[in-house]
Amino acid sequence: MSVVASLKNLDRELARFHGRLKAGAFFVALLAAVLLARGYYLQVAQHDYYIQRAENNRISLVPTAPNRGLILDHKDRILAENYSAYTLEVARAQTPDLEATLAEVGRLIEITPGQLRRFRRLLGESHEFETVPLKSKLTDEEVAILAANRYRLPGVEVKARLFRNYQAGPGMAHVVGFIGRINDRDLKTLRESGRERNYKGSVHIGKTGLEQSYEALLHGRTGFDQMETDASGRAVRMLSRIPPVPGKDLRLYLDLDLQAVAEHAFGDYLGGLVALDPQTGGVLAMVSKPGFDPNLFVDGIDPEAWKALNESAERPMVNRALRGIYPPGSTIKPLMALAGLELGVRRPGDSIVDPGYFMLPNSRHQYRDWKRGGHGVVDLRKSIAQSCDTYYYRLAVDMGIDRMHDYLAQFGFGEKSGIDLEGESSGLLPSRDWKQRRWKKPWYVGETVIAGIGQGYHLTTPLQLATATAMLANGGKRIEPRLVEAIRDPFSHAWQVLPPTVRGQVKIDPANLAVVRQGMLDVMRPGGTAAAAAAGAAYAIAGKTGTAQVVGIKQGARYDESRLARHHRDHALFIAYAPADDPKIAIAVLVENGGHGGGTAAPIARAVMDYYLTGKRPGTMKLEATSDGAD
Amino acid sequence: MARIERGPMRWLRHLDPILLMLVLAVLAISVAVMTSASGQSTARISGHLINIGLALTVMVVMANVPPHLLSKAGPPLYAAGVVLLIGVALFGEIRNGSRRWLDFGVIAFQPSELLKLALPLMLAWYFQRNEAVLGSRHFAIGGALLLVPFLLILRQPDLGTALMIGASGFYLLFFAGLPWKAILVGGALAGASLPLAWRFMHDYQQQRVLTLLDPASDPLGAGYHIIQSTIAIGSGGLFGKGWMEGTQNQLDFIPERTTDFIFAVFGEEFGYVGAILLTALYLAIVARGLTIAARAPTQFGRLMAATLSLNLFTYAFVNIGMVSGILPVVGVPLPLMSYGGTALVALLLGVGILMSVATHRQLNKT
């Protein structure tokens, strides 16, 4: 190649190189533009989004659980209170070998088989990342032992937790209820009601009783510490703090002493009792026997203890006062009598001659009176005093089921009373419509006959009976029964008394009511069915006995209490209010398998009324009865 | 001539003042960001300063090596590099699932690092020799010289390094005058082979690409790095949160934040304005490099200067692109910013070559 050609080539290559340099510069400028565009997108266009994400990264809210409100009786005695205790908890996710860790912990401190069973149950119910309590209420020594051996026990934590103590014992368990660990179902409820955030720091929630129904007031508001945290979740510093607001305290109408008297009066019998203030609807005492120890539930119950409670034939977990449903029996008679007068079916002076049974026209079936041979000439007052069945068989037929249903419904039968507890049963007030709906069958007049004496389909709770009795006492004012009298603000410490909720007023002719009340007074006088229970009372009692059949008695057969197994005996019922001229307490008692109302149920009511109205305790009762419940 | 000058200052005659200023400016920024990113760790900062000192020394030395001497190092370095790569393929040590390392007992070594410099040197030497008679034959041989190490590194496998080395070789061919037709055909072929390449990619490589497309699909795993670094950059905003005030940085949310992800710290604390400034500095370095290339008296100097300039910017682009979530996560440090002695020395070695080319104009004129 010639030098000239070579130089020419050289020039051409150099020119091409300069062109390539420009292309290279353009390429670099293009890449730079891409970077700057991306930077603009992230740092200018999307800045707000990313600054929020950076803040979310950085700031975490650490919840502080509020102190739960106290529950106090009428005299400010504590029924439910908080205490702080050290708990041994295990974080499964951080425990490489759970069994080995449990064994090691068991060597260091005492773990009972019950605690282990409870732990395993809670383990099954909890999520992988949750910590599960193994033992609560650690002693100082146990805390020290665990602290010293911490390095050998990965995932084992000792935490200070708030607990609940129910020192009033099994007798108050149904009223106060208990709190328990928040489970998946609770979480779902909280989420759906938008309250989940307020439970961020909480372990417990009210499960039954007042703890459940007043959960919103008792719980308080969770506080939040706004912490700056690093990538590993360690808190670096506190940015701001919203302190928790403690829950409100509750004061009940219920008096622990009165409650103890009532419980004691039951003796070995099971059953339910509700005592109301007829003017306010305040629940003065509410008994459901047997009770149970609510403290077992606070940190999760050991499965065997739960099985024992749940499978017991005595069904201690059922609050008989508001969930037990029984035929009202003869306790319905004062209201039947009032209905007869008010509806114009009977006049006070109308009387019948009772042969000891009642027969429908064109029927040979005998509806028998409880008294063989009958009560003779019976007017309305005497029909109540002696609980004459025949009088009410006929009255019911004359009134008809429709009018009977509508009248009794005004007194709250077949409907929830609206008490401030959950799980109340509405009972059953039968009607033609109901039977058609439920059984697709017409109403038979024979069913009207037995409805007249509170048998048949009619089912009621002791609470409904007490509410109806309070209406007889206060002249027909229907007030919702309520346990909580007042709530206390955690800051001002001022009690705010809750006003009674009046649902309505049944219009009753005072003259008619007076006749019925006279009948109820006669019940407690010589010749009445509960005369013995009123003997020596310093005030006048208006009452009515009742009996609810547990097993049916065949036509022509006789009920013989002594030949029946105890659990087949009739339930004894009694309703009353006192003092008759200025009623301060209305009461309904149900004694399961107690036989006659006058014999077992009325004396219990008497003991309660005695203590409430005169301060007199039953002679057999020791003075410190209120403290035996405490553990 | 200048050679008669004596004393230590004569070494500094070969420094290019503009390039030096620009490089020192970026290094100064890197010290500030390193201080913040390391949580004022004395060890990290002093380590970085030592690396800078060492790299600047290498730069000064390289600036004093005349290009014609340097070009002679091309063939032996290239040959040694390829031999070592074959050695790796046969006897290499497997680390993290790929065969990249040669263990010489006292020192473990990645031969692919050597090729980053050896390949451009070799190609520049080759095209210098064939200056003025360049034809397609020479580009074919140049392409072959490029493909041998590229494929060897690709099968280690180390896709990131292979692509970076491939890019530097391609830049050199491009500046040497590789016909546009060949570039277009090659580009089309490469594009068409992408689906095929996907099939040959390892799971972790595919994962990186998938993570890029949707970081949220794996927020605690592979996507975590990208998510946290984009949050850091985006939350910096226009003016940044201020030096040592970046929460993503200070609270440990940015992974690898003194090394590969240092740009996230920078973007968070100095904002978009800072990013523009840093990009401008890189662009100025490239512009100065391309100017040096344009004025270079020899083919070797021209090709080396232009290639090294583009290379530097490519590294910056790949790193910032990866940290800001538009490129897959590959282990490429940010030039002059990231912590790491090897990368910094290699970079300033390149800058030293640029300076050598800039200041050895008369001495080598043919």
Cβ pair A320, A462 in contact under 8 A? yes
DSSP letter at A227?
E
Tell me how far apart the alpha carbons of residues B360 and A333 are, in angstroms, rounded to a whole number.
Answer: 125
DSSP letter at A326?
B
**B366 part of a folded domain:** no
Query: Distance (Å) from the C-alpha of residue B146 to the closest C-alpha of chain A?
Result: 19
Q: Are residues A1 and B324, on separate chains, in Cβ contact within 8 Å?
A: no
Q: Are residues B231 and A50, on separate chains, in Cβ contact within 8 Å?
A: yes
Contacts of A49 in chain B (CB under 8 A): 234
pLDDT for the residue numbered A557? 55
Mean predicted confidence (pLDDT) in A249-261: 95
Instruction: Classify residue A103 by burial, with Cβ atoms within 10 Å: 0-12, 13-18, 19+.
Output: exposed
Closest CA to A612 of A319, A256, A79: A256
Would you call B320 an interface residue with chain A, using a CB distance cutoff of 8 Å?
Answer: yes
> Which residues share a beta bridge with A59?
A228
Q: Are residues A43 and B294, on separate chains, in Cβ contact within 8 Å?
A: no
Higher pLDDT, B252 or A339: A339
Among B251, B256, B295, most A C-beta atoms within 10 A, so best to mutate, is B251
Q: Are residues A54 and B317, on separate chains, in Cβ contact within 8 Å?
A: no
**B234 part of a folded domain:** yes
Mean predicted confidence (pLDDT) in A220-235: 85
Query: Distance (Å) from the C-alpha of residue B227 to the closest C-alpha of chain A?
Result: 10
Among B131, B235, B298, B313, most A C-beta atoms within 10 A, so best to mutate, is B235
Number of Cβ pairs < 8 A linking chain A and chain B: 144
Query: Distance (Å) from the C-alpha of residue A320 to the closest C-alpha of chain B?
Result: 54
Contacts of A39 in chain B (CB under 8 A): 233, 267, 272, 275-276, 279, 324
CA nearest B228 in A: which residue?
Answer: A54
**B7 part of a folded domain:** yes
pLDDT for the residue numbered B300? 95
Contacts of A23 in chain B (CB under 8 A): 174
Q: Are residues A50 and B283, on separate chains, in Cβ contact within 8 Å?
A: no
Cβ pair A542, A585 in contact under 8 A? no
- The band of A559, judged by pLDDT with boundaries at 50, 70 and 90, is low
Q: Are residues A21 and B235, on separate chains, in Cβ contact within 8 Å?
A: no
**The domain containing residue B345 runs over which residues?**
2-359
Q: Are residues B234 and A13, on separate chains, in Cβ contact within 8 Å?
A: no
Per-range mean pLDDT, top range of A192-196, A269-273, B361-365: A269-273
Tell me how far apart the alpha carbons of residues A565 and B58 are, in angstroms, rounded to a whole number.
Answer: 108
CA nearest A27 in B: which residue?
Answer: B310
User: Which one of A13, A17, A36 has the shortest CB-CB distance to B279?
Assistant: A36
Contacts of A228 in chain B (CB under 8 A): 247, 251
User: Which one of B133, B228, B251 has the shortest CB-CB distance to A1?
Assistant: B133
Query: Distance (Å) from the C-alpha of residue B348 to the closest C-alpha of chain A?
Result: 20
Task: Give yes or no for residue A572 having a pLDDT over 70.
Answer: yes
User: Which one of A24, A32, A38 has the shortest CB-CB distance to B175?
Assistant: A24
Query: Distance (Å) from the C-alpha of residue A94 to the closest C-alpha of chain B?
Result: 19
Dig out the tokens for B205 from the structure: 């490589």
pLDDT for the residue numbered A7? 80
Buried b (16+ CB within 10 A) or exposed e, B330-352: bebbbbbbbbbeebbbbbbbbbb
Number of H helices, E strands in chain A: 22, 23
φ/ψ of A429, rounded to 5, equals -110, 105
Contacts of A7 in chain B (CB under 8 A): 132
Cβ pair B147, B122 in contact under 8 A? no
Among A42, A48, A50, A239, most B C-beta atoms within 10 A, so best to mutate, is A42
Q: What string of pLDDT tens digits covers the 366 residues of chain B? A: 445 456 677 888 899 999 999 999 999 999 999 999 998 999 999 999 999 999 999 999 999 999 999 999 999 999 999 999 998 888 877 766 666 767 666 566 678 888 999 999 999 999 999 887 888 899 999 999 999 999 998 888 777 888 899 999 999 999 999 999 999 998 898 888 888 878 777 777 777 777 766 666 666 566 788 899 999 999 999 999 999 999 898 888 998 899 999 999 999 999 999 999 999 999 999 999 999 999 999 999 999 999 999 999 999 999 999 999 998 887 789 999 999 888 899 999 999 999 999 998 754 444
Among A10, A28, A236, most B C-beta atoms within 10 A, so best to mutate, is A28
Q: Count other C-beta atoms under 10 Å from residue B213's C-beta.
A: 8
Cβ pair A102, A282 in contact under 8 A? no
Would you call B232 an interface residue with chain A, using a CB distance cutoff of 8 Å?
Answer: yes
- The band of A150, judged by pLDDT with boundaries at 50, 70 and 90, is confident
> Which residues share a beta bridge with B348?
none
Q: Count other C-beta atoms under 10 Å from residue A578's C-beta.
A: 28
Cβ pair A510, A375 in contact under 8 A? no
SS3 for A97-136 is CHHHHHHHHHHHCCCCHHHHHHHHHHHHHCCCCCEEEEEC
Return the sign of the alpha-carbon dihedral for residues B127, B130, B131, B134: negative
Tell me how far apart the alpha carbons of residues A84 and A136 are, in angstroms, rounded to a whole number.
Answer: 10
**Average pLDDT taken over every residue of chain A:** 89
What radius of gyration, in Å, describes the C-alpha atoms of chain B?
Answer: 21
Would you call B359 an interface residue with chain A, using a CB distance cutoff of 8 Å?
Answer: no
pLDDT for the residue numbered B104? 67
**B304 part of a folded domain:** yes
- The band of A567, judged by pLDDT with boundaries at 50, 70 and 90, is low
Edge-to-edge order in the sheet of strand B98-103: B93-95, B98-103, B108-109
Q: Count other C-beta atoms under 10 Å from residue A234's C-beta.
A: 11
Q: Helix, strand, or coil here: A257?
A: helix
Specify the amino acid at residue B298. T
Query: Distance (Å) from the C-alpha of residue A244 to the closest C-alpha of chain B?
Result: 28
> Which residues share a beta bridge with A286?
A274
pLDDT for the residue numbered B242? 93
Tell me how far apart the alpha carbons of residues A541 and A575 are, in angstroms, rounded to a whole number.
Answer: 10
Task: Give yes or no for residue A624 having a pLDDT over 60.
Answer: no
**Which of A215-224, A409-418, A588-597 is least confident?**
A588-597
Q: What is the dihedral of CA A416, A419, A424, A427, to 10 degrees?
A: -30
Cβ pair A364, A354 in contact under 8 A? no
The reply to whether the predicted model has a pTM over 0.90 is no
Contacts of A232 in chain B (CB under 8 A): 252
CA nearest A5 in B: which residue?
Answer: B132
Q: Are residues A32 and B251, on separate chains, in Cβ contact within 8 Å?
A: no
**B63 part of a folded domain:** yes
- The band of A155, judged by pLDDT with boundaries at 50, 70 and 90, is confident
Query: Distance (Å) from the C-alpha of residue B302 to the closest C-alpha of chain A?
Result: 8
Tell me how far apart the alpha carbons of residues A394 and A445 are, in angstroms, rounded to a whole number.
Answer: 11
**B255 part of a folded domain:** yes
Tell me how far apart the alpha carbons of residues B357 and B366 are, in angstroms, rounded to a whole number.
Answer: 14
Q: Where are the alpha helices (DSSP H) in A400-530?
A: 401-409, 432-439, 445-451, 462-474, 510-523
Contacts of B171 in chain A (CB under 8 A): 24
Mean predicted confidence (pLDDT) in A74-97: 88
CA angle at residue A61 from A60 to A62, to 5 degrees? 115
**B365 part of a folded domain:** no
pLDDT for the residue numbered A562? 62
User: Which one of B175, B235, B283 has the shortest CB-CB distance to A28?
Assistant: B283
Task: Give yes or no for residue A299 having a pLDDT over 80.
Answer: no
Higher pLDDT, A483 or B209: A483
- Pairing label, strands A271-276, A351-354: unpaired
Domains in chain B, number:
1
Mean predicted confidence (pLDDT) in A520-547: 92
Task: Give yes or no for residue A631 having a pLDDT over 50.
Answer: no
Active-site residues of A: which are they? 330
Would you call B314 an interface residue with chain A, using a CB distance cutoff of 8 Å?
Answer: yes
Closest CA to B300 of B140, B137, B74, B109: B74
Query: Distance (Å) from the C-alpha of residue A125 to the closest C-alpha of chain B?
Result: 27
Closest CA to A17 of B287, B293, B133, B145: B293
**Which of A334-348, A353-367, A386-400, B28-42 is least confident?**
A353-367
pLDDT for the residue numbered A628? 38
Instruction: Say yes or no: ipTM exceeds 0.85.
Output: yes
pLDDT for the residue numbered B82? 94
Q: Chain A residues within 8 A (CB-CB) of chain B? A: 1, 6-7, 9-10, 13, 16-18, 20-21, 23-25, 27-29, 31-32, 34-36, 38-40, 42-44, 46-47, 49-51, 53-55, 57-58, 228-232, 236
Would you call B113 an interface residue with chain A, using a CB distance cutoff of 8 Å?
Answer: no
Would you call B290 an interface residue with chain A, using a CB distance cutoff of 8 Å?
Answer: yes
Window 140-179 of B, Cβ < 8 Å to A: 171, 174-177
**B349 part of a folded domain:** yes
Cβ pair A535, A526 in contact under 8 A? no
Q: Count other C-beta atoms under 10 Å from residue A21's C-beta.
A: 20
Tell me how far apart the alpha carbons of residues B124 and B130 are, in angstroms, rounded to a whole number.
Answer: 10
Query: Distance (Å) from the C-alpha of residue B283 to the closest C-alpha of chain A?
Result: 8
User: What angle, rounded to 10 degrees, do the helices at B262-295 and B299-323 form?
Assistant: 160
Mean predicted confidence (pLDDT) in A435-462: 93
Task: Give yes or no for residue A623 having a pLDDT over 60.
Answer: no
Contacts of A57 in chain B (CB under 8 A): 228, 231, 247-248, 251, 253
pLDDT for the residue numbered A90? 87
Q: Which residues 6+ apart lie within 8 Å of A441 measured at CB?
A: A435
DSSP letter at B308?
H
What radius of gyration, in Å, describes the C-alpha atoms of chain A?
Answer: 36
Would you call B275 an interface residue with chain A, using a CB distance cutoff of 8 Å?
Answer: yes
At which residue do the structure tokens 């911490």 appear? Answer: A150
For A94, what's the count of Cα atoms within 13 Å in the CB-facing half-sphere?
15
CA nearest B269 in A: which residue?
Answer: A43
Q: Count other C-beta atoms under 10 Å from residue A95's C-beta.
A: 16
Tell me how far apart the alpha carbons of residues A400 and A451 are, in angstroms, rounded to a whole number.
Answer: 10
Q: Are residues A51 and B235, on separate chains, in Cβ contact within 8 Å?
A: yes
- The band of A349, judged by pLDDT with boundaries at 50, 70 and 90, is confident
φ/ψ of A626, rounded to 5, equals -70, -20
Q: Helix, strand, or coil here: A358?
A: strand
